[in-house]
Amino acid sequence: MILKNKLIWFLCCCIPWIVNAYQRIPVQEGVEVNAVVSTNALNRLAVDNDRIASVKGTGGEFELDKDTELGQVFLKPLVKEGPIHIFITTEKGHTYNLGLTTHELGAENIVLTPIGATSAQWQQSSSYESLLKELIKAMHTQNALEGFVVESAKVKLPSVKGAKVVHIQSYLGQSLLGQI
């Protein structure tokens, strides 16, 4: 048994662990959002249902490789400390402000999911009660809902009176947040 545990420990130390994180971040014009990027590798930035036209930031803080065919960019920070602030402009004319925090782990895959005008119009055109009803129905069936960004979580929370609690998904809208 001891030999087996030592062998498992040895293999865990010898195998390189690769971390490739995926971040789906709801964005809205005029609101800065934060993301984490690797200083050791290229980080992919893309926008759902849109294409990145340009990225603006302070010169000398990052390298940028544009993929004009797919409308995404690959960014590598040149600074190890402090946040990097960038503006992403899309082909549909939207501008998003990002604050990037650096770490020294593996590459990050960041997908920006716009919320805003269309979801706000949808939420305002429905009564509050019908909106809650539709949100609860979508959360119960775990289906997508127009005007909401669905994020998977799978995070264990502290137990409540002996019951195990796990955060599975979040539904993020303009003015409502639902969590399963």
pLDDT in tens, the chain (180 residues): 555 555 454 444 444 444 446 788 888 888 888 888 999 999 999 999 899 999 999 888 999 999 999 999 999 999 888 789 999 999 999 999 999 988 888 888 999 988 854 444 444 555 778 888 888 898 888 888 877 777 776 666 677 778 887 778 777 776 677 888
Strand, helix or coil for residue 167: strand
Which positions ≥6 away from 158 have C-beta within 8 Å? 165
